Chains A and B, each alone.
Chain A
Amino acid sequence: MSDKYSEAAGTFPRADRIIWLIFFIVAALPIMFPIGLPLDITEVTRDYYATIEDIPEAGVVLYSFDSGMGAFAEMGPADIGTITHLTSVMKENNVKVIFVTTAGPEGQVALNVILTQYVDMSGLVYGEDYLNLGLIPGYESTLAALAEDLHKIAPTDVEGTRLTDIPWIANVRGAEDYDIFVFSTATSPDPYPRQWAQYDKPILAVAQAATASWIRPYHEAGMITAYLPGQRGGAEYEVLLGAPGLGSSYMDAQSLTHVYAIVLILVVNIQWYLKRKGDET
């Protein structure tokens, strides 16, 4: 922390402090007293939903969970919505899900929090309905290897059980055996389509709003089927699932803080304009 903060103590009405104070008030009020602002569902979110609904009977999903607790507020709602939806197709269509983390240890922490605290996993049996391969470091190289031959890169699951001892996964080798790829990343989305798009399987993405503009070209080119960008994507998905949760509760605060940001931009620009005009005269 810079010393300028310490030196400035005692001068409370400083612009940045006032800005933060108002920000927290603006964000906290709708959380304490929800407004329920309307939320439009975008086409890409509907496509995301439809893609999961269309997973065939006994289909296999490879879910690379590479976001973490640091981005949980941003991506948690979309991840929770995705896994909640997957659990419903797991129960109805006997779909199997393989979870894996390739980018860093945080992914496994966030995944375990979601599976144990936010998603109803009752009726599903670990090993029979879903599997967690744990952290396999390597990121893009691991993504490539998972598509090439799952058993070579991950002979055992996170608990040390050999994959060959799990009947349904014994014949799942690589990309040709997966019906859909899903990834959740708090960093660059580039490695996923780079390694998976060649297999012509649907790819779903959960990403930060900040990286939505990175994903868009892949989506436009048909490489990524659909994506949920940040809290907004998560909130839309909760509406589609008919289960308002974290994302919906955040959206009022998101909307009001955006209005606040626009007001700040206008105020600062008007102030700058008036100052410049004053300097000229």
Chain B
Amino acid sequence: MIDELIYAAATLMIWSALYRDNPLFKIGQNLIVGLYLGMTITSGLDVLYRKAWTPLFIEGKFLSLITVGTIIGILIFARLIKGKEWIARYPIAVLTAIGGSVAVSGAMGTQILGQLQMPPLTSIDNILMVVGVFTSMTYFLFSVRTQNPIFKLSTQIGKIFLMVALGCMLGLEFMTNVSLPIGALPHLVTGPGVYVTIPALIILVAAIIYDSRK
């Protein structure tokens, strides 16, 4: 029950910003940032303990790649030493190189070659997909300036496809963003959360009356 009350109170403290800035919103905001930071630090220390401290200092695996990784990781703190900040560029370079190479090698098959296979033009879906891809690409072809009517028609059709695609993406984005408050609402309008919601509504009405008389 207590966790439901805290959940409802924290949610309403944050949502109170929709009316106007207020101390409760600031408390809620700082509380969430603080909690998240605390969780991240705890989790980071746990990973360090399991992945670096235990194998190195408890199991004594000094001659392993973990030692190399740990040393590279520690080098990032060189940013805090005046005059030695440049050392921190090396771990960042290593991370970037590994991340880049892993991503690029995987992208070739899935995001480039895998997407180039033209679907059979046997359904309206596939025809629309192919037409949409080609016409949208012509819309972004800035290197050629032409008055060719077919090219112009293609860019116009491409623009329509792009608008439809962006509309769909916006709709899905809306769906996601709406689902977040909807997910919180059952905790506010049913169960113990109601005992927090009702006083909050009374405070809101009082604030509206107070503000309107200013």
A: residues with CB less than 8 A from B are 1-3, 5-6, 8-12, 16-17, 20, 23-24, 27-28, 31-32, 71-74, 76, 104-106, 108-109, 134-137, 140-141, 144, 155-156, 160, 190-191, 193-195, 197-198, 208-213, 217-218, 220-221, 223, 229-232, 246, 249-250, 253-254, 257-258, 261
Contact = CB atoms under 8 A, between A and B. Distances in A.
A161 to B, nearest CB: 11
Nearest to A141: B102
Interface string B163-198: 001001100111111111111111011100000000
B160 interface: no
B46 interface: yes
A257 B50 contact: no
A230 B114 contact: no
Interface residues of B, number: 56
Contact of B25 (A1, A137, A221, A258): A1
* Minimum-distance CB pairs A-B, first 3: A73-B183, A194-B106, A105-B43
A160 B50 contact: yes
A258 B174 CA distance: 9
B212 A230 contact: no
B182 A254 contact: yes
A10 B110 contact: no
B114 A221 contact: yes
A250 B47 contact: no
A26 B49 CA distance: 49
Interface of B: 17-21, 25-26, 39-40, 42-44, 46-47, 50-51, 54-55, 98-99, 102-103, 106-107, 109-111, 114-115, 117, 119, 165, 168-169, 172-186, 188-190, 208, 211-212, 214
A8 B110 contact: no
Given A72-B183, A109-B39, A221-B114, A17 B18 contact: yes
Contacts of A74: 176, 179-180, 183
B190 A32 contact: yes
5 contacts: A5-B17, A17-B18, A72-B183, A74-B180, A105-B42
A156 B106 contact: no
Contacts of A193: 110
Given A76-B183, A140-B99, A231-B183, 18 more contacts: A1-B21, A8-B20, A9-B214, A27-B182, A27-B185, A32-B189, A106-B39, A135-B46, A141-B99, A160-B50, A190-B107, A194-B107, A198-B106, A210-B175, A213-B169, A246-B183, A258-B174, A261-B174
Contacts of B169: 210, 213
Given A12-B211, A32-B190, A160-B50, A218 B110 contact: yes
A213 B168 contact: yes
Contact of B44 (A2, A3, A28, A105): A105
Contacts of B119: 220
A32 B191 CA distance: 11
Given A156-B50, A209-B176, A31 B103 contact: no
B43 A135 contact: yes
B185 A137 contact: no
Contact of B179 (A105, A218, A254): A254
Nearest to B177: A210
Given A141-B99, A221-B117, A250-B179, A212 B39 contact: no
Contacts of B189: 28, 31-32
Contacts of A135: 43, 46-47
Given A134-B50, A254-B178, A28 B114 contact: no
A148 to B, nearest CB: 11
B1 to A, nearest CB: 14
Contact of A212 (B55, B106, B115, B172): B172
Given A12-B208, A144-B106, A213-B168, A31 B117 contact: no
A200 to B, nearest CB: 11
B185 A253 contact: yes
B110 A231 contact: no
B182 A253 contact: yes
A215 B18 CA distance: 33
B173 to A, nearest CB: 5
